[in-house]
Amino acid sequence: MVDGSSRRGVLRTVGVVCGGGVVAGCVTSGDDGPVAGDLLIRNTDSEAHTVAVTAEKTSTDDDAVPPERTAAAPAATPLRERSGEYRVTSDDRTVVSEFLREPGAFFVRVRIEGGDHTARGWIGLYEASGGGVAEEYLDVSISEGDRLRLSAQVAGA
């Protein structure tokens, strides 16, 4: 399944049901919309959840995401890793500013507490004119029954 895809930024996701450090970044709630490189976590479930998100940078080339429609984990050691845990109350959302701050190919893993529900996929982010990343942000949504979805969305769309 591919959501919010573009030529350069594609997140291929596979939801998996299985057993299973917060880093710097501004966390906001409310009406602030996400921009390129942000992480948006939306919880429409009737319960609060803690979400763990890890992004492994596997290449400096934003087009280096696997062409397959599977979300196979990378075999090589990542160049960098960014991870965090975020608590989102019922019917609320959290925006983590600049979760991904540099261009490249990233493998993303998402898990809600207990490790019973996970999602994973790839995103390629290219450099914006003037620095940083352009176009897309990560969107994690939790819905009733602990359903978890990970996608890439175009900022401002």
Residue 149 pairs with which residues in a beta bridge?
141
Give the model's pLDDT for residue 135.
87
| pTM for this model (two decimals) | 0.78
Q: Mean pLDDT score of the chain, rounded to an integer?
A: 80
Give the model's pLDDT for residue 85.
96
Q: Which two tokens stand for residue 33?
A: 């919309």
Give the model's pLDDT for residue 75.
83
**3 is a domain residue:** no
Give the model's pLDDT for residue 20.
29
* Domain membership of residue 114 as a residue range: 13-154
The CATH number covering residue 108 comes to: 2.60.40
**78 is a domain residue:** yes
Q: Which two tokens stand for residue 92?
A: 């609320």
Residue 76 pairs with which residues in a beta bridge?
none
Give the model's pLDDT for residue 5.
44
Three-state secondary-structure class, residue 111:
strand
**7 is a domain residue:** no
In the structure, what pLDDT confidence band is assigned to residue 30 with cuts at 50, 70 and 90?
A: very low
**2 is a domain residue:** no
Instruction: Give the Cα separation of 40 and 34 in Å (integer).
Output: 7
Number of domains in the chain: 1
